[in-house]
Amino acid sequence: MTTQPTPKDTPRGAWTITFLLFLYMVVNFADKIVVGLAGVPIKTELGLTQEQFGTLGSSFFLLFSISGIIVGFIVNSVQTRWVLLILAVIWALAQFPMIGSVSFATLLICRIILGAGEGPAFSVAAHAVYKWFPDEKRTLPTAILSQGSAFGVILAVPALNWVIVNHSWHHAFGALGIVGLLWAVAWFALGKEGPLVPSAATAASEPKISYWKLLTSRTFVGCVVSTFGAYWALSLGLTWFTSFIIEGLGFSQQQAGFISILPWVFGATIVILTGWISQLMLARGFTTRGARGVLGAAPLVVGGCVLATLPYVAPGGLMIALLVIGSGLCGSIYVVCPPMLGEFTPVSQRGAVIAIYGALYTISGILAPMVMGGVIQHAGSPMAGYMIGFSINAAILVGSGVLGLLLLWPNTERARLTGTSQPDRAIKGAVSPT
């Protein structure tokens, strides 16, 4: 007779699924980085202005948020394994038109389609992995999932940059399409739905909370605002970092490819440390206010202060180091927000809430590349424009981090939403929502 996993057990196969979803996020971010990595060759071949290139970077996020919300509600009732498979196939197919001669309009349309397919990616993957881990064990798998972004860039940049330098940027897109199809085949063969889902009786008895209350709760708002600032920095990194290294600092395309890895290596370290420290704090009795809220928001303030010093140092290695550190510290917030939302959101509503959270904070992905492009276009020099753009980023990071520190109180959120009296507590004393 098979013993059913208790809420605090991790089912067999959980880490295999986590690894597959980690690879899913690797492909996801490799797809995102390719336009920024090939920015200078694309601008040269297509004759794009800085503003047009900023628009191209933003186009990826045009349907990103909308599709995230729609798919978020779909996964409340449809198995995540099939949704993840369909999304991966869309990513792959959106890359192939760029293999041949392509116009700016075609490139723009393909990036919009790719963005629509990738918009729900992290939210659906997080929802899927939470079906394999109880609440008190979710921070580390969330950190690993988030690492897909860093490793997607770390692994893809050298390979894609080699293709760009030795062949063309067109072939780089084709390579990503093939990799996307390979992941889809692997997931079709090995992907499974997690067992930690409520039974029909449990789901029927689980109290629902109105979406209005969930989406206006201070912790939800705090997660959106704080991650909005972090994603502003990430969007600039995806679209403009390599161009800055080449146009602002004078490095070659080949040199810029290696330098472009640095923010992601540092960011990967921050994400893993955040996940490990958070679970260690929870195990030692800290409330999730401290082990998730403060731990995630405080680095945004520090990162913004670091970026604010950029205009006051000489161009070169120190400027790159400050940009790497300031941007990389933002990774902490991605690790802690989905688990915080899972603390107080009923399981039957969790997929939609996490997806709406993702859809809202990624609006900064539309704004940040366009703002930077416009600033560079109208500044006295490219370097001056980049410095103004990074200063704007610094102010947004500090503001979002401060608001996060004020608003993130997940440990008492469910009691406030349900109107019950509940003491402030650590997660290890809570009942897992799964």
Q: What is the pLDDT of residue 430?
A: 32
What DSSP string runs through 193-219? --S-S--HHHHHHSPP--HHHHHHSHH
2 belongs to a structural domain: no
346 belongs to a structural domain: yes
Task: Report the alpha-carbon angle 192-193-199, nearest 5.
Answer: 150
Cα–Cα nearest to 226, from 129, 97, 139, 341: 341
42 belongs to a structural domain: yes
196 belongs to a structural domain: no
Q: How far is CA 87 from CA 67, 186, 409, in A?
A: 11, 14, 33
Alpha-carbon distance of 148 to 39, in angstroms, equals: 22
Domain that holds residue 365: 14-190+205-429
| Most distant CA atoms of the chain, gap in Å | 74
396 belongs to a structural domain: yes
297 belongs to a structural domain: yes
> Could you say which residues of the chain have pLDDT below 70?
1-9, 197-206, 420-434
Alpha-carbon distance of 206 to 235, in angstroms, equals: 38
Residue type, 267: G
What DSSP string runs through 142-155? HHHHHHHHHHHHHH
289: CATH: 1.20.1250.20
Which DSSP state fits 136?
Answer: G
Alpha-carbon distance of 9 to 177, in angstroms, equals: 38
Alpha-carbon distance of 32 to 51, in angstroms, equals: 19
pLDDT tens for 394-433 read: 999 999 999 999 999 998 988 888 776 554 545 443 322 2
Query: Are 139 and 339 spatial neighbours (Cβ–Cβ below 8 Å)?
Result: yes
pLDDT tens for 13-59 read: 788 898 999 999 888 888 888 888 888 889 888 988 888 888 888 88
197 belongs to a structural domain: no
Q: What is the pLDDT of residue 432?
A: 28
105 belongs to a structural domain: yes
pLDDT tens for 370-396 read: 999 999 989 988 899 999 999 999 999
- The total of structural domains in the chain comes to 1
Q: What is the pLDDT of residue 202?
A: 52
Token output for 421: 């009296």
